[in-house]
Amino acid sequence: MRGLLAALLAGGASVFAFSPFGIFPLAVLSLAVLAGFAARESRARGGFALGFAWGLGAFLAGVSWLYVALNRYGGMPMPLAAFAILLFCAYLALFPAAVGALFVRLGRGAAWRRALLFSSLWIGSEMLRGWLFTGFPWLALGYSQTPPSPLAGYFSVLGVYGVGGLVAFLAALVALTPWRSVRPAAATLAAAIVLCGLGYGLGRVAWTSPAGKPLEVALIQTNIEQGLKWRPELLADWLDGNARLVREHPADLVVLPETTLPLLADRLPDGYLEELAAPVAARGGDLVFGVFLRDARGSIYNAALSLGASPSQTYAKQHLVPFGEYSPPLFGWFYELVDIPMSDQTRGAPDQPPLRLGEQRVAINICYEDLFGRELIRSLPEATLMLNLSNLAWYGDSFAQPQHLQIARVRAMETGRPMLRSTNTGMTALVQPDGRVVEVLPAFERGALRASVQGYEGLTPYARWGDAASLAFVALALAVAGFRRQKAGPGGPI
């Protein structure tokens, strides 16, 4: 029981490793608690329980802001919303639970071998969580290692799952090393110094180089409260407000956030879009904004539309949010409990090209899509800039906003491209290819972030091979673990 409580509390403490707190060493220490207790277990079910407790603590502390969307804005009764979040976090906890069970079952031998096994299992579990049922990779452990963490340099090579694996490796070494013995302790410290030193060095490598002329951009934060956004009597105010913000902040590229116009484009007043884009087009620039589009078949898309000096172009969101933007099979009853506007959307095509805006090629991703690094690198090497349009007003004043900005920082490092963010309520920001946040607007304030942005070309190692390196490591480590078990024979350790 003591181990389960410790794992639960350690999982909950892991949220402090992420933004807005940024105590990145806590990720190693938190996971070391799980690895240490699992190493003392003799039964796989004990390891499963420990991993489940750690995961439940981590996700209840880290993503409970989903409750705000269900209860405050979705209208789900408080007990049902709380129960739904508990069930969802319990589902997410199954992935570290599987790590705990397999580690107990397979983890034999020297500390470094067991640490490699723990690391590979962790990578595999997070990759599976990011894929199964369309995936939910939020709070993947690697996200906690944005600068100033010395492990941040590995993002451009291994991606977020590989960096999470390094965190898991260090955590297992910390847990398994007999610290009173000089040689094992020295070896563990040396391994940590080498890993951190190499990461620091990789962080100084410029994998990509400037391309084209810099753009003057205005990233607009509209700050429309989610509970008011869909009220018909306020529609004229929102349309006028968007047009006024565009007029007040002219630039080469002006960006309005996701679904900034809360209705279908074909239902907008006649001439409104031309009026919206006119100030930007007059100075030879382009406007990009979020809006719902409907095709000839009646399918609805959460989209970005560009208007201005360049030919008009569109991008339709490819990776939709289950239960928020579409209903998974057999879950139609869910929408009898909540009220979510525009919740029957269609996926965009997976091979949409970047938008050609002047000399730059801008790859759009909408809100939740930037969680999926392996999907964003499809736009490379053509794209010179990355642009995220988001609306996190659904989650109120919570950890969701700083956590999402941290995710954008990782995507910038993985791709070697600046990441521009235009959001409704925050956090609107400019992130450089090295993960630095150049500027960010205060949350829940209306305004515009004005900046000069340079496009980049070239490929990082991660952009070339994606998650292949992490997958190869998982396969190799599991093969070694399986070989050792076979070598031990029926009478060996199990």
For the annotated catalytic residues, the residue numbers are 258, 317, 367
Determine if residue 284 is left, alpha or beta; phi over 0 gives left, psi from -120 to 50 gives alpha, anything else beta. Answer: left
Q: Which two tokens stand for residue 94?
A: 């199954």
Q: Which two tokens stand for residue 390?
A: 């988001």
**C-alpha 440: how far from chain center:** 18
Instruction: Determine the number of helices (DSSP H) and then strands (DSSP E) in the chain.
Output: 15, 13
Query: Could you tell me which of 448, 427, 446 has the C-alpha nearest to residue 437?
Result: 427
Q: What is the rounded CA–CA span in Å between residue 230 and residue 217?
A: 28
Q: Is the dihedral of CA 58, 61, 62, 64 positive or negative?
A: positive
Residue 223 near residue 461 (C-beta atoms within 8 A): no
**C-alpha 443: how far from chain center:** 19
Q: Which amino acid is at 40?
A: R
Phi and psi torsions of 385, nearest 5°:
-140, 150
- In angstroms, what is the C-alpha Rg of the chain? 24
* 3-state secondary structure (DSSP) of residue 458: coil
Residue 360 near residue 385 (C-beta atoms within 8 A): yes
